[in-house]
Structure 1
Amino acid sequence: MLLPKLSLALNILVLIPVCSGLLLKANWALDSYGIETPARGILLSIYLTILIFSAALLFKFDAKMVIALLSVQIIYKLLSPIMVGTMTNPVIISNLFIALFHAYSVWKLSIIEKINPFVS
């Protein structure tokens, strides 16, 4: 179970500074995420939700919930460069690396738990 827990820890380690930067209106957040808009506020709420669930699942591990959380993240992170239209934004680049890590975690967890994430 180490790898999925590392994915949850990665979420926490990445999202604490990201959410803090967005909340505190840090210059790097403006450079990476653009000006403050309702869309950025919605993104922040999604990030906070992922942060909260990652922390909760790290302490009360549930394989199916971890697979669900990480799978949603993988999909949105892989869709991001298509929707944004660039591969050069630092958020997009980090998202792609995190998606790869999470995909490996989901694969390993589904094998260990004998869970097929695509069949109920």
Structure 2
Amino acid sequence: MTKLSLLLNIVVLIPVCAGIFTNANWTLVSYGNNTPARSILLSVYLAILVVSIILLLKPDPKMITALLCVQIIYKFITPFTVGSISNPVVISNIFIAIFHCFTVFFIWKDGMLLK
């Protein structure tokens, strides 16, 4: 499951980061106009992408759990901060957070945090 969560991050974040960076038309609908706030979000996404790649190559259950827990929290908070559940980013965030919850559960259940 850890590999799947990290791969999910990578598969989702590569096109999202590329779209935000190139100001693709679909990013205007999902992320709004190109603003400093959107560029900060791109930085956060790039950090998650880089850490996901590193952890895929050199897995550490504690670090993976920390990364996924941060993502779970911010992704479940987005409907409240955006004020809508209909935004495509909010919807995908919820599904990804649910997937990551299962991964964190299995890491905990398998005792990988104790190693």
Given the two structures, how large is their TM-score scaled by the length of structure 1? Answer: 0.92
Equivalent residues of 1:33, 1:40 under 8 A apart: yes
Equivalent residues of 2:65, 2:104 under 8 A apart: yes
Q: For structure 2, list consecutive stretches of 5 or more residues without a partner in the other structure.
A: none
Partner residue of 2:104?
106
Partner residue of 2:37?
39
Deviation sequence 1:40-91 (CA, Å, 0-9, x none): 0110000000000000000000000000000000000000000110000000
Point out 4+ residue stretches in structure 1 off by more than 3 angstroms: none
- C-alpha distance in 2 between matches for 1:45 and 1:92: 18
- C-alpha distance in 2 between matches for 1:64 and 1:99: 18
- Number of residue pairs aligned between Structure 1 and Structure 2: 114
Equivalent residues of 1:5, 1:58 under 8 A apart: yes
- C-alpha distance in 2 between matches for 1:55 and 1:114: 20
State the secondary structure of the residue aligned to 2:113. coil
State the secondary structure of the residue aligned to 2:110. helix
Aligned residues: percent identity? 56
- C-alpha distance in 2 between matches for 1:68 and 1:113: 15
TM-superposed CA distance for 1:23, in Å, is: 0.5
